[in-house]
Structure 1
Amino acid sequence: MAIVRWPLGGIRTYMRYVYRHLGPDWEITILAADVQESAALREDARSIGAELILAHANPLGFMWSVFRALAWRRHDIVQSQGFISAIAVCLPNHFFRIPHVLTVHGVLEDRLLHGFAGRLKRFVTNWAICSVDAVYAVSEDILAHVREQVSCLARSRTNQVAILNGIDPEMFSGPRKSGEFRRSQGFGTELFLFGFLGRFMPQKGFDKIIDALAALEQKSMKRDYRLIAVGSGDYRAQYEALAAERGVAHRIVFLPFQANVAAIYCDLDAVVMPSRWEACGLLAMEALVSGVPLIASDCIGLREVVRDTPAIVVPDGDPVGLAQAMGDLMRSDYDGIFVSFRATAAQRFDVRKSAQDIRMLFNQTIDGRQNSMLKLRN
């Protein structure tokens, strides 16, 4: 059973990719908070053959839904997607003792852990992390971060592993430059399209792209260009206002969440990822498998994905460096390098390898809990 307090962005994408390949011997139930992307989550659950239970979004209501699900159904293992989900599981699971795996998709941000309330959050979060049977991070970077931030892990019996996330390469293996997306938006083939695909939130560094576009406006570019900004999030209105303030609103086309991003990749000339941190850059994997030139920051979780790839890496996602890289892409033909790397990327980032390791972790966790219970009885 998967417990998902925030079934958005990378977590929802993770479930869509991984659960599809766990195998026929696994029956999957997803208990998730009812949020703005619930319609897409329903479609994902249907496509992978999973049962979906939508729960109250408020913390107490969500925890009560978790308690009822654990009490009414027989589960072999519980997988919490993220820290908040793990907290919602740990208290109810005290009564049921079901093997519990925490999958870590993010960082413990210092800005949220200051003051009395912040210290209380850290205490509860650390308690939950050290209470689960296994902590499974979706990249080596994130596992190292959790170990550094949560000192009790070194003294706990919690199994700690990193399994690099992956994607389904077949979704992005179609021909490049199909033209479908451009036609739907009224864009001609001569227009250079940069893409930003993700949630509008500070972590993703969209403000850096706005600064980079402002820097490009000061240069004489021979090609006309647009940034296609696809996603959702609480900061969209703020970024629209910032773009207008910086005089680059005409360069950005904001689009809502799109279910079929593969069609968009086909028509993009480049993808820009100036993230401040990532758990594991799935969008970078998608771009590389699609053969789209990629500009990426060297932040935690993303540097691990783009290492030994043709990606153009900009230290800290610096706006000046971003502008330089974007300008270079418009002046030169980089497509051949990235198209040639597609087969390597498809093999390297295939989620089937991740799913195999995840199945092994789940089975080991179940067996370990059963062995512990036998020892206690004896």
Structure 2
Amino acid sequence: MKLPKRIAMLSMHTSPVARLGGKETGGMNVYVSELTRVLALRGIAVDIFTRASDANAPYVDTESIGVKNARVINITAGPRAPVSKHKLVEFATPFAEGIRDFARQENLAYDIFHAHYWLSGVAAQCLQSMGLRAPIVQMFHTLGAMKNRVARTASEAETDARIVAECDLMRSVARVVASTPRDREQMIDFCSASSKRIVIIPPGVDTNMFYPIPNARAREWIGSYDDKTVLFVGRIDPVKGLDTWFRAMKLVVDDDPSLRKRMCVCLIGGDLDDDLDPDSELARLQTLKAELGIGDIVTFLGGRAQASLPFYYSAADAVVMPSRYESFGLAALEAMACGTPVVASDVGGLSYLVRDGETGFLVPEGDEKIFAEKISLLLHNTELRNAMGERGIQEAQEYSWWNIGERMIELYQDVLH
């Protein structure tokens, strides 16, 4: 079958070239940029459409993805400034109109609308209603119903509009991409989605970027002089369960007080200015670390460039993902590719990605005692840590972006056949 010629990749609420670790930047941003790159390398032209949230964002960006045939188009829809994702649905139609106008100006026709997150799916439906009839391939990345299941406060809950839109998209688009079998099961359970419409294709990892770096070299590069490092990489968000990790780390240092002087509990992600907002998750965690008496070992590093992450992963003794919900868990895969064991909640995609007792440990969500036990085990057992790291490297090879890209192309061909 022939390759599709041109794909419209829709990422309305967040730009794939934005700095990682912010409120709305994380694994999905990496997913969109890396998938686009591998498709472009296969000769498929890809235009990524995102809402312009920066007054200085260029209309057409041909440089940031770094390969020929891949562009980022910043569409003006609403203010060119950050907007709460709960309010962005108001701009779905203007966003779609901007895509339609760009296609007309360039005299382009797209073979596939590949929508990421529910807002992009709504925009893709708008495009179809405007007469642009390309089929929609939808990836949600997270499900509103699942986030509501773990929400502890009203402010953490997703809107009814999102829940309704996600179920509608599952019934109407050409295909839905699920990250794991559990992701697929949840779609069927919550929205009675047709199993025939859902295809399981996991995210990938760039194994040319994420590979083991000798520990001493990695520590020197990042300027770390701590003997032990426990690392988190991701958005600073309540759903990430970082309070459980903090409580676990208190238990770890209570059990071995000598670690206080030679260990870093490091967090990469978030905007450090957020601690000025007393209602932010970062401010809440700053307060919690003081209450637990672990302020001397916890370091918030803020956002870091993607290219620097392999050094941080390789310098760490363990990477933690204490999430309350995680559709996949890209940071866990990146850590495994770098040879670092992962201690993760036994939830969502993490249950499939992390091989318990082989590439790391799966822990009951919210159980700080077992988190502490497994983290301590890795900190004190070099042989186990190295063995798990080696197995993780092997597992990660199956998730190379080239392999994942091939599976996505097969899906596109099936939709167009």
Q: Partner residue of 2:296? A: 250
Q: Partner residue of 1:53? A: 73
For residues 305-320 of structure 1, the aligned pairs below 5 Å read: 305-307=353-355, 309-320=358-369
Q: Contact 2:178–2:200 at 8 Å: present in 1 too?
A: yes
Cα shift readout 1:25-54 (whole Å, capped 9, x = no counterpart): 211111113458x98xx7984324421122
CA distance in 2, matches of 1:111, 1:172: 29
CA distance in 2, matches of 1:53, 1:91: 18
Residue of 395, 405, 409 corresponding to 1:345:
395
The structural deviation recorded for 1:178 is 4.3
1:105 aligns to 2:156 (yes or no): no
Residue of 259, 276, 300 corresponding to 2:348:
300
Q: Contact 2:359–2:389 at 8 Å: present in 1 too?
A: no
CA RMSD of aligned residues (A): 2.7
Q: Partner residue of 2:268? A: 230
Aligned-partner residue type, residue 206 of structure 1: L
CA distance in 2, matches of 1:34, 1:225: 41
1:129 aligns to 2:170 (yes or no): yes
The structural deviation recorded for 1:14 is 0.6
Q: Contact 2:339–2:393 at 8 Å: present in 1 too?
A: no
Q: Partner residue of 1:76? A: 111
Q: Contact 2:51–2:95 at 8 Å: present in 1 too?
A: no
**SS state of the match for residue 264, structure 2?**
strand
CA distance in 1, matches of 2:220, 2:237: 26
CA gap of 1:70–1:112, structure 2 versus 1, over 3 A, is farther
CA distance in 1, matches of 2:181, 2:63: 27
Q: Partner residue of 1:65? A: 95
The structural deviation recorded for 1:182 is 4.6
Q: Partner residue of 2:380? A: 331
**SS state of the match for residue 211, structure 1?**
helix
CA gap of 1:352–1:51, structure 2 versus 1, over 3 A, is same
Q: Which moved more, 1:306-315 or 1:279-288?
A: 306-315
CA distance in 1, matches of 2:208, 2:147: 39
Q: Which moved more, 1:231-240 or 1:289-298?
A: 231-240
For residues 189-228 of structure 1, the aligned pairs below 5 Å read: 191-223=227-259, 224-228=262-266
For residues 9-48 of structure 1, the aligned pairs below 5 Å read: 9-22=26-39, 23-35=41-53, 45-48=64-67
CA distance in 2, matches of 1:245, 1:258: 27
**SS state of the match for residue 277, structure 1?**
coil
TM-score (ref. length: structure 2): 0.78
Cα shift readout 1:87-130 (whole Å, capped 9, x = no counterpart): 12212322222111101211223665999x95454333322332
Cα shift readout 1:304-347 (whole Å, capped 9, x = no counterpart): 10136421221225111111112222222133203432541232
CA distance in 2, matches of 1:286, 1:110: 24
Q: Partner residue of 2:106? A: none
**SS state of the match for residue 42, structure 2?**
coil
CA distance in 1, matches of 2:240, 2:390: 28
**SS state of the match for residue 341, structure 1?**
helix
Unaligned runs of 5+ in 2: 1-7, 15-24, 78-82, 104-108, 272-279
CA distance in 1, matches of 2:48, 2:337: 28
CA distance in 1, matches of 2:67, 2:367: 39
Cα shift readout 1:221-261 (whole Å, capped 9, x = no counterpart): 43321111000165222211221222212211101111121
Q: Contact 1:78–1:99 at 8 Å: present in 2 too?
A: yes
Aligned-partner residue type, residue 51 of structure 1: R
Q: Contact 1:108–1:149 at 8 Å: present in 2 too?
A: no
Q: Partner residue of 1:6? A: 13
Residue of 110, 121, 125 corresponding to 1:86:
121
Unaligned runs of 5+ in 1: 368-378
Hey, which of these two has a bigger chunk of helix by percent?
1
TM-score (ref. length: structure 1): 0.86
1:176 aligns to 2:183 (yes or no): no
Q: Contact 1:221–1:327 at 8 Å: present in 2 too?
A: no
Q: Contact 2:204–2:401 at 8 Å: present in 1 too?
A: yes
Q: Which moved more, 1:48-57 or 1:237-246?
A: 48-57
CA gap of 1:110–1:139, structure 2 versus 1, over 3 A, is closer
Q: Contact 1:141–1:301 at 8 Å: present in 2 too?
A: yes
Q: Which moved more, 1:96-105 or 1:345-354?
A: 345-354
Q: Which moved more, 1:345-354 or 1:54-63?
A: 54-63
CA gap of 1:208–1:35, structure 2 versus 1, over 3 A, is farther
CA distance in 1, matches of 2:231, 2:48: 31
The structural deviation recorded for 1:299 is 0.6
**SS state of the match for residue 75, structure 1?**
coil
Q: Partner residue of 1:141? A: 182
Q: Contact 1:140–1:164 at 8 Å: present in 2 too?
A: no
Cα shift readout 1:186-206 (whole Å, capped 9, x = no counterpart): x32x52011000001122111
